[in-house]
């Protein structure tokens, strides 16, 4: 390319001479000024030849040693490159450096002390787009063998086994609960006023189900409940919520005690589960009915005063992202009115065992599911907001980084 470079150089010099004789200095247009600038035209030809070298995969040193390259590169630029200790190894890198010089000339920046950005400098990658829970569901279904996605949700072979076992044990649970309901009705509520028997039957169903599916969680700091149980004090158990598995995990952490769940009324539509929850006396809440909310508050306070534990998820709904959501004050109002302590509970890994969009769990909870019980927080002498803040901080302290709320 050296003879071709010399030829193009002579052509450019003759063209610039011709244009300079026919163009008047006081009527120069930007296009005419661009065409008559010898430096710009020479650099343009240099960029073109460098591109040809790169596309044809020829040796770049033939172009680097040509006379045209010597006229296109300034002495200051050579000194700066030698000080950096860099040597041009490819025509593609040289083409990018010449393009930067061409841009500086067009913009009128001919300062010899101009410092270009270091190409070796680390550039932060663009922010990745956060996937929604539906996109994550599609990825999980496509990555797991024999996973099926239906209108009701997705399931895999383990989920099918878990579901069939739950239904089989659920039929026995339902039969025993209906028998209890008949006896309780005939006695006009005089037998088992606190409805301890149906809670025991439901706990047996959940315990066997978790054990046979290897999904019983690891429970930490369970000894902090011994003093509470020895004093026969009822407490409000408050936990984070991002999966259906939070309910059996929380029940397993409480143990063989009489407790009631504060749950949404829509669960009564679930076969077997809905009827058993109603007979057991769980506190059911309709989020759209103001009167139902007041009745829930009154019923919850009554259970606490009668020595029955309450369990609730103050977020009000499951977190699809897995991170802790804002709390609602209903649970703290119950504990404050009844003077009962609040036990913060951190549930870890339940969203991995059963992510959003799945009908049943997708894997055993062994090695993943964990429940951390924190020290009880007394409600006396504190406001509802102070209670909510202390409980929230305690729950966050037991959660991993991926489950903690994002700081605004």
Longest CA pairwise span in the chain (Å): 118
pTM: 0.66
Provide the pLDDT for residue 43: 60
* Predicted confidence (pLDDT) at residue 377 exceeds the cutoff of 90: yes
> Which pLDDT belongs to residue 261?
93
Q: Which of 207, 201, 104 is nearest to 165 (CA)?
A: 207
Paired with 344 in beta bridges are 238
Phi-psi region at 146: left, alpha or beta (left = phi > 0; alpha = psi -120 to 50)? left
The DSSP H or E segment spanning 372 is strand 370-373
Q: What confidence score (pLDDT) does residue 135 get?
A: 77
Rg of the chain taking only CA atoms, in angstroms? 37
Task: Please determine, for residue 97, whether its predicted confidence score (pLDDT) is greater than 90.
Answer: no
* pLDDT, position 23: 44
What pLDDT, in 10s, does the model give residues 101-139?
434 443 444 444 444 445 444 444 555 566 777 778 777
Burial class (CB in 10 A: 0-12, 13-18, 19+), 150: exposed
- Dist. CA 197–CA 191, nearest whole Å: 10
DSSP state of 401: G
Average pLDDT over residues 268-296: 87
Cα 268 to chain centroid, rounded: 30
Give me the pLDDT at residue 182, please. Answer: 95
pLDDT for the residue numbered 103: 42
Mean pLDDT in residue range 199-223:
95
Spatial separation of the C-alpha atoms in residues 91 and 129, rounded to whole Å: 36
Tens of pLDDT, residues 309-358 = 999 999 988 898 889 999 988 889 899 899 999 999 999 999 999 998 89
Paired tokens of 196:
């301890």
Residues 6+ apart with CB under 8 A from 209: 162, 165, 166, 169, 215, 248
Q: Is the pLDDT of residue 83 over 70?
A: no
Q: What is the pLDDT of residue 15?
A: 45
Q: How confident is the model at residue 56 (pLDDT cuts 50, 70, 90)?
A: very low
Averaged confidence pLDDT in the chain: 77
- Over residues 69-92, mean pLDDT: 48
pLDDT score, position 266: 85
pLDDT at residue 317, as a whole number? 86
Which secondary structure element, helix H or strand E, spans residue 35, and what is its range? helix 30-36
Closest CA to 283 of 268, 269, 263, 302: 263
The answer to whether 252 touches 217, Cβ cutoff 8 Å, is yes
User: How many Å separate Cα 404 from the centre of its chain?
Assistant: 10
Which has more pLDDT, 343 or 39?
343
Q: Where are the alpha helices (DSSP H) in 107-238?
A: 133-143, 157-186, 196-212, 224-230
pLDDT band at 198 (very low <50, low <70, confident <90, very high): very high
The residue ranking higher by pLDDT, 51 or 95, is 51
Task: For residue 44, name the pLDDT band (cuts at 50, 70, 90).
Answer: low
Q: Which range has the top average pLDDT, 24-28, 158-162, 187-191? A: 158-162
Residue 267 clears pLDDT 50, i.e. is over it:
yes
Q: Which two tokens stand for residue 361?
A: 């769990």
């Amino acid at each position: 390319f050296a003879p071709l470079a010399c030829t193009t150089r002579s052509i450019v010099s003759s063209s610039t001479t011709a244009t300079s004789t026919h163009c008047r200095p006081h009527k120069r247009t930007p296009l005419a000024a661009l065409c008559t600038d010898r430096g710009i035209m020479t650099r343009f030809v240099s960029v073109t030849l460098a591109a040809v070298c790169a596309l044809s995969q020829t040796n770049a040193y033939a172009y680097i040693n040509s006379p045209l390259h010597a006229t296109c590169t300034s002495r200051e630029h050579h000194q700066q490159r030698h000080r950096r200790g860099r040597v041009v190894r490819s025509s593609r890198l040289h083409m990018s450096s010449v393009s930067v010089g061409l841009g500086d000339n067009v913009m009128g920046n001919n300062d010899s002390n101009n410092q270009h950005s270091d190409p070796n400098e680390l550039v932060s990658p663009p922010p990745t787009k956060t996937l929604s829970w539906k996109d994550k569901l599609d990825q999980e279904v496509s990555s797991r063998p024999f996973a099926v996605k239906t209108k009701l949700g997705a399931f895999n072979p383990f989920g099918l086994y878990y579901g069939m076992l739950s239904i089989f044990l659920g039929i026995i649970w339902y039969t025993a609960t209906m028998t209890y309901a008949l006896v309780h009705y005939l006695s006009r509520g005089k037998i088992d006023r606190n409805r301890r028997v149906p809670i025991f039957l439901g706990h047996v169903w959940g315990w066997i189900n978790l054990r046979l599916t290897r999904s019983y969680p690891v429970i930490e700091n369970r000894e902090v409940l011994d003093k509470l149980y020895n004093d026969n004090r009822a407490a409000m158990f408050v936990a984070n919520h991002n999966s259906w598995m939070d309910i059996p995990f929380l029940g397993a952490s409480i143990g063989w005690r009489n407790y009631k769940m504060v749950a949404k009324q829509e669960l009564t539509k679930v076969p077997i589960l809905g009827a058993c929850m109603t007979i057991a006396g769980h506190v059911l809440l309709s989020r759209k009915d103001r009167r139902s909310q007041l009745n829930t508050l009154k019923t919850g306070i009554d259970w606490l005063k009668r020595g029955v534990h309450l369990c609730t998820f103050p977020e009000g709904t499951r977190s699809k992202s897995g991170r802790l959501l804002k709390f609602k004050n209903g649970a703290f109002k119950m504990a404050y009115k009844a003077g009962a302590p609040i036990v913060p509970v951190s549930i870890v890994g339940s969203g991995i065992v059963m992510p959003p969009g799945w009908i049943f769990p997708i894997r055993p909870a062994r090695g993943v599911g964990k429940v951390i019980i924190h020290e009880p927080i007394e409600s006396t002498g504190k406001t509802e907001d102070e209670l909510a803040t202390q409980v929230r901080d305690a729950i966050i302290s037991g959660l991993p980084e991926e489950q903690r709320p994002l700081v605004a």
